[in-house]
Amino acid sequence: MANLGAIVLDPGHGGTTIVGGSSPNNAKSVSGVLEKNLALDFCKILKAELERQASASGDTVDVFLTRTTDVNVGIADRAKLAKTKNAKLFLSLHFNGLDDASVRGAETFFATRGNGNPNEAVDKAFATKMQAALMAGLKAVDPTSKDRGVKPDTDSQPRRLGTLSGVARDNAGRPNKCLAAYYELEFISNQQVEKVLISGPGAAANRVKVMGSVAKAMLDQVRTMP
């Protein structure tokens, strides 16, 4: 049995007040479910899938969440957990929402060299793998799912920029880099997304399928890392 190392999952938002640049909540689903609660639920499912799949292969993996309850954690502290746990991977999970309910799709972000990440190329490659795994899972439960692609972080989203760049900065003194990516998993203001992932009859099972696809890609990644 091999230990595959540590992975940090970062459920976006939480609590009721702004903490260290992290807002308590941004998006809300059609049925009124808050982004912060969905992010935590999806991360807990992903943790369980990572542990289950590793065990099925005769391995172990150490999975940590930046929060496990409805509390907010500052952006810098979220990023620092990757260093504290000597993590190989860091994945932040959020959802989008708009007044225009027709918009949907999943996208993954990575930190750029211009925003303080000297390892842009490997983070972009990791983000690309994470987007592909997410889309494979989403397409399996809803063929109409839209791929919004892999994108560099921008100053228009300080929480995203701060989290990803923070992981890169904290890795400066480590011999092995922690790869980092940031999911905007879907637009929960969209009715089809509501049905497939939030309140429809198959939503609970669909969440496990989607996160199962992501878990497989993450385990495949850590197996290639020292």
Contact 9, 63 (CB under 8 A): yes
Secondary structure (DSSP) of the chain: --EEEEEEEEE---SSS-BTTB-S---B-TTS-BHHHHHHHHHHHHHHHHHHHHHHTT-EEEEEES-SSS----HHHHHHHHHHTT-SEEEEEEEE--S-TT---EEEEE--GGGT-TTHHHHHHHHHHHHHHHHHHHHHH-TT--EEEEEE--TT-HHHHHHHHHHHHHTTT-SSPPEEEEEEEEETTSHHHIIIIIISTTHHHHHHHHHHHHHHHHHHHHTT--
Buried b (16+ CB within 10 A) or exposed e, 57-80: eebebbbbbbbeebebbbbeebbb
Mean pLDDT taken over the chain: 94
Range of the domain at 213: 3-222
**In the predicted model, is pLDDT for residue 29 greater than 70?**
yes
Q: For the chain, what is the domain count?
A: 1
- What's the confidence (pLDDT) of residue 115? 81
Whether the pLDDT of residue 158 is over 60: the answer is: no
% pLDDT > 90, the chain: 84
Residue 51 belongs to a domain with what CATH number?
Answer: 3.40.630.40
Query: What pLDDT is attached to residue 126?
Result: 97
The residue among 153 and 208 whose pLDDT is bigger is: 208
Q: What is the pLDDT of residues 90-129, one digit of tens each?
A: 999 999 999 999 999 999 999 988 888 888 999 999 999 9
pTM attached to this predicted model: 0.96
